[in-house]
Amino acid sequence: MAEIDLMRFYPRRSGRAAERPSITEEDRLISRRFDKSYFDGDRRHGYGGFTYHERFWTETVKLFRDHYRLPEDAAILDVGCAKGFMLYDFVKLMPQARVTGLDVSEYALEHAVEPIKPFIRAGSAKSLPFQDKSFDLVTAINTIHNLPYGDCLRSLREIQRVTRGHAFVMVDAWRTEAQHRDLLSWVLTAETMLHVDDWLKLFEKAGYTHDYYWWIVG
C-alpha cells in the first residue's frame, strides 16, 4: 500500500471555496441525485457541463499503465466511471484491454461516450457484481467518499476482493484545519470526509492493501 499521486497529470484548479458560488444543503441534495443537474446543469450543483477532453485523461491513463506495468489485455474496472471518459482513453491507449465501468448514475451511463456504453453498467461500490480477483486494476477516483462511513468500509473491502493485481482510490481528505474548512465549504456530494490519518485507519480496518491518494482542497 502506498500514497502515490497517479492523478498528477489531471488538470485541476486550486478548488478553494471562492471558486464556487455559496452552496446550501438544498444544493447538496440536488447534487447527490447525480442526474443532469450534477453533470450538465448549473455549476453550483456540480460540473456545470461534463464533456470529454483529451487533456484530462490521456496522460493519466498512460501513467497508470506504466506504473502498474499493465499487460496489453489487462482487465480494468473503474468504479464510479461516470460517462466513461477514463475507460475510453484506456481503450484508445490499450485496444486489447477489457474494460468495465460501474456507476450509480443512470444519467451518466445514458450520456457516456458511445464506444464505452457496452462496457458500463449501473451499480454501487458497496456491492461490486463481480467474482473475486476479476481485474488487473481497479480504480475508484473521487467515488467511495460519496457513501456513508459504513459503506465506504464495505466498498474498500469489495475493491480488495475483486482485484487480482492492483487498485487505486482517491478520496476527499485534509491535513490542516484550514484545508478542512475549505473542504466543507466546497464539497457537494461527499458524505465521508476524513483527516488523512483517519482514512489510513479506515483502510487498515477494511483490509485494503493497495494504493491511494487524496483530494485536498486549497
* Domain coordinates in residue numbering, the chain: 25-215
What are φ and ψ of residue 124, in 5° steps?
-115, 145
Gap between the Cα atoms of 40 and 50, Å rounded: 6
pLDDT at 13: 58
Q: Which residues contact 33 (CB under 8 A, 6 or more apart)?
A: none
Q: Any idea of the CA torsion for 109, 113, 117, 120, to the nearest 10 degrees? A: -60
Tell me the pLDDT of the chain (218 aa) as tens digits: 899 999 999 887 554 444 556 789 999 999 999 999 999 998 889 898 899 988 889 999 999 999 999 999 999 999 999 999 999 999 999 999 999 999 999 999 999 999 999 999 999 999 999 999 999 999 999 999 999 999 999 999 999 999 999 999 999 999 999 999 999 988 999 999 999 999 999 999 999 999 999 999 86
Q: What does the longest C-alpha to C-alpha distance in the chain come to? A: 46
pLDDT at 17: 46
Residue among 211, 189, 181, 202 nearest 16 (CA): 181
Find the helix packing angle between 85-93 and 54-68, rounded to 10°: 60
Residue among 169, 139, 137 nearest 152 (CA): 169
pLDDT at 19: 58
Residue linked to cell 487524496: 214
Gap between the Cα atoms of 135 and 33, Å rounded: 29
**One-letter identity of residue 1:** M
pLDDT at 15: 46
Pick the CATH number of 25-215 from 3.10.110.10, 1.10.10.10, 3.40.50.300, 3.40.50.150: 3.40.50.150
